[in-house]
A and B are shown apart, each in its own frame.
Chain A
Amino acid sequence: MKYALLLMGHVNDPACGEDGGADPEEFFAFDREITAAGVVLDSFALEDPDQAVRVGTGDDGERIVSAGPFAEVREFVGGAYIIEVPHLDDAIAWARRSPASAAGGHVEIRPLAPY
């Protein structure tokens, strides 16, 4: 089964590398470990959520482009892995091992839809 591991952060928590935040070294070490296990199909890390541009539709039906930071965003995706493992328990085991699931963050596991 293919799963996305969404590494979630919260705006109120210290950012990666800041005081009290996760140590980037831990993420690099985890990345080496999961890559060496041969389960990663793809992965990416994202810039901070305030470095975002949003494209939506206004009341008039026209597309609107706006610049972050967006006040209503509390939880955000900081990065993700797409992995292929036999079943959910393996995905949970990787999420558990990830520094992203330590206090202040969490990992959301989503199966990839087979389209």
Chain B
Amino acid sequence: MSRSAGSTSSAAEAEEARHALAAFGPEARARLLAPLARRFGDLGLAEDSLQDAFAQALRTWPETGVPETPAAWLMTTARRRALDAVRRERVLAQKLARLRIEEERAPFPSAGTDPAETALTGGAGPLGDDRLVLFFTCAHPGLRPEDRIALTLRFVAGLTTEEVAHALLVPTATMQQRIVRAKKRIRTLGIPFTTPPPEDVPARLHGVLRVVCLLYAEGFARSTGETHVRDDLTADAIRLARALHRSLPGAGEVTGLLGLLLLTEARRPARLAADGTPVPLARQDRDLWDPALMAEGIACAEAAATSAQAGTYAIQAAIAAVHAEASSSDATDWRQIAVLYRMLEAHEPGPVVRLGRAVALGRALGADEGLRRLDALASDPVLERFRPFHIARGITLEELGDAEGAARAYRRALALGGNDAEDEFLTSALA
């Protein structure tokens, strides 16, 4: 559709159209993509048609003016494009026929006990909301873990391939290939664009939460490299957690994850000293903690704790909330934290959780007890190679006045891999 010769469109109108389209950021793009992907059951088709719709808007809006509801215009245009593509291609047509059959199937019988299930099966219809469906598709256990993260960033968070590549420190060409292969895998395996059957919801939801949590963790403390904290990825993870929480407000684990991320985020301004080295929790200036994020995080943690499905994320949010509510490290209710770690261990046994409990007990009962608890874990092959374990031991030994033992622990920590900011912290502790 080329502009007619007698067009009266001016540069100002073209500028207005460009401006209106530029207003569609990652979040808005993701909201447009989700219903298309769900309806047509194909990420590639959804993407291409949406891109076509944007291109068409750029051509026609300068002449027709920006429509009253640009999102609706784009959606209608993209859907029409996708239908055209389906009609052109026999394989896609068959696929669509199959999708129609699926949509006519009876809604999932609701067990009615899990709020996540109720939200999935009720209200927005048997298939739940489109964004949520895309979360489940992109975090499907039939996909490789690293692909789940890339797909979630690309299609649920709405990032471009270049942005995903940048966020995950992968060359753009590599990321492009990876996403193409993952999309092919979704198609070949027949991974559905539906919410999982009710009996699978808790496990599948856990998989979705894990992707969001890993994204935040990746942004928060990269294992190697120059900067300790990467803003974009942590912001994307929180945005995704908020979107999940909007879809499943009654699911305790979702609320717990959001609370955990908000409380961790709230502490970030105090996490790094002016020279960029990380500041341990005990020495952080708590006036730097973000009060708004703190309040919202604590509210989430409290809501999650009273939920019937309180699991690992709800407990971790509770631990973060206990820290948040203390005016100083000494004023922290470390016994409460030790209890919460024991609960966490029941849900998710592992050496890192045992380490958390040992540190909390040391704080509650004294450095002597802390060292005894830490040394009892020293033979664990995971903790042996886990930097924070040796840092915790170093700090405890320092408190007990054993400078030599502390130096040995810090040197051991330094010998293990980590990021540059942590290296600086350890080097200065050793100096």
On A, residues with C-beta under 8 Å from B are: 1, 3, 86-89, 91-93, 111
B191 adjacent to chain A (CB < 8 Å):
yes
Q: Name B90-136 residues within 8 Å CB distance of A.
A: 98, 101-102, 105
Binary A-proximity of B153-179 (CB < 8 A = 1, otherwise 0): 000000000000000000000000000
List A contacts of B196 (CB < 8 A).
89
- B191 engages A88 (CB within 8 Å): yes
B200 on interface, CB distance cutoff 8 Å: yes
The 8 Å CB contact of A88, one of B98, B102, B189, is B189
Q: How far, in angstroms, from A87 to B102 measured CA to CA in the complex? A: 9
Task: Assess whether B200 is in contact with A111, with CB atoms less than 8 Å apart.
Answer: no
Are B194 and A87 in contact (CB-based, < 8 A)? yes
Contact residues, B266-295 vs A (CB, 8 A): none
Assign chain B's interface to a size class: 10 to 19
Nearest-CB residue, chain B, relative to A93: B197
Set B101, B140, B142, B188: member contacting A86, Cβ < 8 A? B101
Decide if A86 touches B189 in the complex (CB within 8 Å). Answer: no
Interface residues of B (CB under 8 A from A): 98, 101-102, 105, 140, 142, 188-192, 194, 196-197, 200
B197 with A87: CB separation less than 8 A: no
Q: Return 5 A-B CB contacts under 8 Å, by A number.
A: A86-B98, A86-B102, A86-B192, A89-B192, A111-B188
Residue of B with least CB distance to A89: B192
CA distance A88 to B190 in the complex (A): 5
Cα separation A21 to B317 with both chains bound (whole Å): 44
A86 to B191, CA, bound (A): 10
- Residues on B with C-beta less than 8 A from A88 are 140, 142, 189-192
How far is B140's CA from A109's CA once the two chains are assembled, in angstroms?
15
How far is the CB of B201 from the nearest CB of chain A, in Å? 11
A-B Cβ contacts below 8 A, count: 32
Q: CA A86 – CA B103 in complex, angstroms?
A: 11
CA A34 – CA B55 in complex, angstroms?
49
Q: Name the A residues within 8 Å of B197 (CB-CB).
A: 89, 93
Nearest CB of A to B331, in Å = 49
**Measured CA separation A3–B188 after assembly (Å):** 11
Complex interface: chain B residues within 8 A of A1 (CB)? 190
Cα distance A81–B196 in the bound complex, in angstroms: 23
**Taking the nearest CB of chain B, how far is it from the CB of A50, in angstroms?**
33
Q: Apart from A86-B190, A88-B190, A89-B194, what are 8 other A-B pairs with CB-CB below 8 Å?
A: A87-B102, A87-B191, A88-B140, A88-B191, A88-B192, A89-B197, A111-B188, A111-B190
Residues of A within 8 A of B101 (CB): 86
Chain B residue numbers with a CB within 8 Å of A111 are 188-190
With A and B bound together, what is the CA distance between A86 and B96 in angstroms? Answer: 12
With a cutoff of 8 Å between Cβ atoms, the chain B residues found around residue A93 in the complex are 197, 200
The complex places the Cα of A1 from the Cα of B142 at a distance, in Å, of 15
Whether the Cβ atoms of A89 and B188 lie closer than 8 Å is no
A88 to B204, CA, bound (A): 14
Most chain A CB within a 10 A radius of its CB, from B105, B142, B188, B190: B190
CA distance A42 to B98 in the complex (A): 21
Q: How far is the CA of A89 from the CA of B194 in the complex (A)?
A: 9
Residues of A within 8 Å of B102, CB to CB, are 86-87
Q: Complex Cα distance A88/B189, Å?
A: 6
Q: How near does chain B come to A27, taking the closest CB pair, in angstroms?
A: 22
Whole-angstrom distance between the Cβ of A38 and the nearest chain B Cβ: 14
CA distance A89 to B188 in the complex (A): 13
Q: Give me the 10 closest cross-chain CB pairs, A-B, nearest first.
A: A87-B192, A1-B190, A87-B190, A88-B190, A88-B191, A86-B102, A88-B189, A89-B192, A111-B189, A111-B188
Chain B residues whose CB sits within 8 angstroms of the CB of A86 once the complex forms: 98, 101-102, 105, 190, 192
Instruction: Give the CA-CA distance A93 to B199 in the complex, in Å.
Output: 10
Contacting pair B189 A89 (CB below 8 A)? no
What is the CA–CA distance of A1 and B189 in the complex, to the nearest angstrom?
A: 9
**Neighbouring A residues of B188 by C-beta, 8 Å:** 111
A87 to B133, alpha carbons, bound, how many Å? 14
- Would you give the shortest CB distance from B235 to chain A, in whole angstroms? 32
Specify the chain A residue showing the minimal Cβ separation from B140: A88
B146 CB to nearest chain A CB (Å):
19
Residue with the greatest number of chain B CB neighbours at <10 A, chosen from A3, A89, A91: A89
Q: How far is the CA of A1 from the CA of B97 in the complex (A)?
A: 12
The chain B residue sitting closest to A110, CB to CB, is B189
CA distance in complex: A1, B190 (Å): 7
Give the CA-CA distance A86 to B98 in the complex, in Å.
7
Instruction: Report the separation of the CA atoms of residues A104 and B193 in the bound assembly, to the nearest whole angstrom.
Output: 32
Q: How far is the CB of B298 from chain A (nearest CB, A)?
A: 37
B140 — which chain A residues lie within 8 A by C-beta? 88
CA separation between A50 and B268, bound complex, in Å? 62
Q: How far is the CB of A82 from chain B (nearest CB, A)?
A: 14
